Amino acid sequence: MTCHELEALRLGLMNVLGTTDRSAREHAEKELEGHLEGPIGALAEADDLAAIERHLDAALVDLEEEVAAADESTDRYDYLRGRLVAVRDAERAVRRLTNQGESVLDGLDDAHHLLHEAFPVDDDD
């Protein structure tokens, strides 16, 4: 059993972060072999955090449907429930990453404005 959502998320984050670790990318691609359609494929190809959030949400909907259809008396059901918890946790981590990135942008904007207030620039210069 493999966690397609987590491996696709890893690939998407590697894209966004510009990760060049070829072995990590190859490992994730191998895990996803034959499963790169729909939200999983889109997540693996995501190139910004908004796309990651959107495709991860769609992948979660599919996973929730898979859990709902599973036989609760099987080990597979337990695995799927654990996978669902892990993917929801990953979703929260991506949301935190996005929020932190936006906070950095706000801080840079504040610093920029503060510098202009402290050291006004004459438009003629």
- Over residues 25-57, the pLDDT tens digits come to 999 999 999 999 999 999 999 999 999 999 999
Packing angle of the helix pair 4-17, 38-45 (nearest 10 deg): 20
Tokens standing for residue 106: 């706000």
Tokens standing for residue 98: 């996005």
| Angstrom distance (rounded) from CA 100 to CA 52 | 15
Banded pLDDT at 121 (limits 50, 70, 90): confident
**pLDDT beyond 80 at 115:** yes
**Residue 32 CB partners (closer than 8 Å, separation 6+):** 2, 4, 7, 8, 11, 40, 44
Do 70 and 80 contact (CB within 8 A), yes or no? Answer: yes
Task: Provide the pLDDT for residue 45.
Answer: 98
**pTM for this one?**
0.88
CA angle 65, 71, 72 (to 5 degrees): 100
Q: State which H helix or E strand residue 19 sits in.
A: none
